Structure 1
Amino acid sequence: MKKWNDYMLKTKMFVTFSVVSLFIVILTCLIFYYKNVSDIKNQTVSLSDTITRQFSRTVELYIQDIEKLSVSIFGDPVLQRSLLDHYQSKNDVEQNEIELTINKRLFTHLQPRPQLQSIYLFALDNVVYYVSKANGPKVSFSLLDEFWYNNNESVMRNKFFLLPVTEEDTGGGRQEKVISFVRNINRIPYREIIAYMKININVKVIDNMLVHSDSNEVERNMRVFIVTEEGNIVYDNKNELTGRTNIDLDTSIFAGESRSGDMIWNGKQYLYTYEKSDYTKWNTMILIPNDFLLSKQKKSQYILILVGLLAMLLIAVVSYILSHHITLQLRYMMKKMNRVEQGDLNQRMEFKGNNEISRLSRIYNNMLDSISRLISEVYESKLAEKNAQLSALQAQINPHFLYNTLNIMKSISRIRGIEEVAEMSESLAELFQYSMNNLQHPVPLREELNHIGNYMNIQQHRFSDRFELSCDIPEALRKASVLKLTIQPLIENAINHGLGKMKTGGCITLSARRNGDNLVIEVTDNGKGMDEEKLLELQRSLHSPFRINELRDDMHGIGLQNIGQRIRLFYGEKSDLTIVSSPGRGTTVKLEFPYQTYEQEEKEAAVHEHIFSGR
């Protein structure tokens, strides 16, 4: 096992930086995790407490509104007079009129409030007047049948009281759970009790008071109860325990000072908050399962683990880059010295500054200067000799020399009356002049057509009437901008490879058209065509990476791959070269690239030159 001092400086720096940084990251993540867990619990308790107080207050306000309704019924002069008449009535006709009057007044108070189920007036002689939203038949009952009336002393002492949830028949065999609001009715202005009133409220109205929000995870997972001091469930938001008693809910917590804490119910751990209403004497309780808090903690834990891993990865990368950068100059110097040791005396080290490495590099460079100077002198002398030979060779094949020679041949041929040779010399001279320079710059399509005309003039003298060229190019498109020598090589390929073996009847068609924003040029021949295998091979070669030695081959002629690469380099991905061919039906080569007039091209080139030249 290696000792610590035996490791490379880069390795020791990387390990040291990584260990220290990772320790800080892990410690930070642990502190943040425990702080986040505590914050989640506190936030959940705070939100639950807010919902509890708001819900309790909403229920309290609603019961206050019912009390106001009871007061309006209590003080209704028609009802007061009708109740007094009830005790003085002597026959059934008068009693029916009183019942009709009382029920009509009760109905005006019941009907506008959809949350009310029924209203009862219990006379002291066991006669009951009531109106209900149920469609069932009228049921006979009396004050003595009401369980709450047995504690008459309590009824007398309280202004009103609320009964636990019971079920009321709404007709058709349906039962609705209701909360009963009970109070006595005194004779005005006297204080003697003349009747008792009971208002039944549908429990569903409480469910409408609870604000439901699917976007809040706490509200989706909480359990809401309204519990009396005796442990009766007035309301359960899951509608499972409403109206039930003895559900093993620890009501002793309502006597404590703390309004939140932890409790166990049905074998599960819950976080609870409650609010007691001094008005209704009901306790509003919200239970939040610990499983929900654990899931929130797990989410936080997963996020911290992910952040910790990313931080560790980032620290490792930064530590590596830092150690790499610090030792880069040393490794660079070692690399240079190794090359010098292998015989490469041209290696130099350029470190600016006045530190130890910079001084060492200058001493190293001075040691190699004299040897490098000798080698440089020998190399420059040989290079000058080689350039002189190359210049002499270029002078011999200078295109201007060939162009001038062809013009001389043309003049001599016409002086001696050999017009055919003069015409071929002139066409060949124009071919040389056209292709002499600026192949990378576009020209008007008409110039490329003139170049094709010179080429076809020479070929007509060579092949006589074996084939003909047909041009279908509108005059408006002849000003389009095209690259030099992109169409003529297609004509040449059509002659050499498509019509080469035809004795007569050969036809080449050159056409141009607009396709949206693109210019399409097609060269079609009626030659022998290609079979599928050769066509696929040609298409593969056109889409293969460009290589100089593939600009010409025996099968495909000159320039197909060159043309495809040139238009792609100049016009980008919007350009394409495609080939369609079949045996005995000829071949069609199609060029497609963005349409632009030559004048537009010249203006854009001038603007581009002006911007980049700074003029």
Structure 2
Amino acid sequence: MKQKMTKSSLRHQLIWTSLVCLIVPLAIALAIGNYNTNNLIREQAANNASESLKLIESQLTNTVRGLYSVANSIEFDAWITPYLKSPAYSNKQTSVAQVTEKLYNLTHDKTGVYVTVLTTDKRFFTNYLLYDRFTPLMLFEEPWFDRLNQLSAYENYVVGLHPSYLEGISRDPNIITFARTFRTTQRIFAYSVISITETSIRSLFENYEEQQIMLVDRDGTVVSGENPGSKFPHFEKLKERRADPVITIDEKKYIYVMEPLRYYDWTLVSLMPYDKATKGVNRIYFANFFWQIGFILVFVILLIGLVRRFTGPVIRLGEVASSIESGNLSVRSDVRGSNEIGKLGRSFDHMLDRIEEMVEQIKREQTQARKAELSMLQAQISPHFLFNILNSIRMRIQLKGDRENADLISTLSGLLRMTIQRQDKMVMLREEITIAIGYMDLMKSVMREPFQYRIDLAEETEEALVPRFTLQPIIENALNHGLRKGSGVIGIESAAKVDSLIIKVKDNGIGMDEEALRELTDKLDRGRLEAARAASGGMSGIGLANVYDRLIMLFGPRCAMWIESEPGKGTCVSIKIPRMGGQQLD
């Protein structure tokens, strides 16, 4: 009974915890969402209206640019411009017809666009038919026409909205006019007056039925839209309330958006009834809310069933853990599965077996390690045996009177002892010099060309500590590369600084050019570890890179190694290490 209560309690805890973790955040989110819904809807509606205005602004810009392109085409036409400049063509009807045809060709794909070109000698050309009550020369009498004379070259003048002067041609009572002067550097020779009907501009707004869109100038006059030419009474109020997208007009709420145009201080204004803007969004919001409630109910039902299913194996594992804690290591849970609980059950069941296997494995590994160590020791030749053989050979040669070769064998024996005892211990500099001298004496017997060596040590550096076997690889490199084509001199120098020791190994061999020196330095920096690993164990396999690697490992950034060389003059390898006295020797 107690076990059943424990199981039931665990299940209830999981279910209630899951429900609380789900419902409480959801309730808070719904409360916050409900509080912010109105603001979000307003912002969304304002964003939609703003996108609409940006699209209209793009279309309106293209329309105006199309009008300007007509003026540009006229002004820069290689045939029309001379004709407009010279009054000598004034009586040639064929030329007039050709200009008219060109104007028509420029505007035949533009609805509601009327082009008038006036010359200073009172000639005119149009893309439309004339009627009795209007002649294009009447445009000279318009109040805005005198302002054209003050324009600079290529400057456009926006007349804006005004009553149409084409009553017999267009039914639209209002037109929007743009004007420009054509001039040379000395004088004006013609004017272009391009008008477009207000309804052509208003047609850009027709696809947005839910919005009341209008084009307003900086004074609040409606350029295009409902009641063109009238004052929009709420324009100043809208400009003052840019932070709040909602405005009340005649006790009715509107979401408004203003999009200033990039030219002529015109502004696109959109008014959308608040109820229409929020109706669709509210419907979507409540539909989503009910869908979420439905999904939550389904989730709760599935949660209860899954928790009841999962808690059985967990409780079983708890019972097994209690048995193991009491000392019964033979108990098994028999919980299986591909999920984490199944893996945990298998881990419990195999825990003791794994411990036994690990103990046996450790024993086997230790036995194998001892066998391998014994085999390695048996495969080695005792160094003392080798030294004894070399000493016996040296004694026999010496008894025969060949003291020179006996000395060479003695030197070889000493170097062999140093090689077999490869350890990164420190030795005094004078001991390292002794090894280097022995090595060079041996190399004299095998080099094709004779060479000399010169030792120049500062007295205060003789007892300074250096890493064992540092100079031999550098000397070997000098013999194999620096003096490979002839005899020469190997020099070893030392100097003491305040807290550092500097050692130089020089040769007067063939040297290196700048490119070879730079390549060697780069390889020394990049490949020192690889070169060290490639060392075969003999003295000649260490190399400069291994020396540098050992110095870095021992002294870190306190050491340095650099190479100087000139073709035909030789090479100098310098190392700098911290200065340590002989009393620090182990």
TM (norm. structure 1) is 0.39
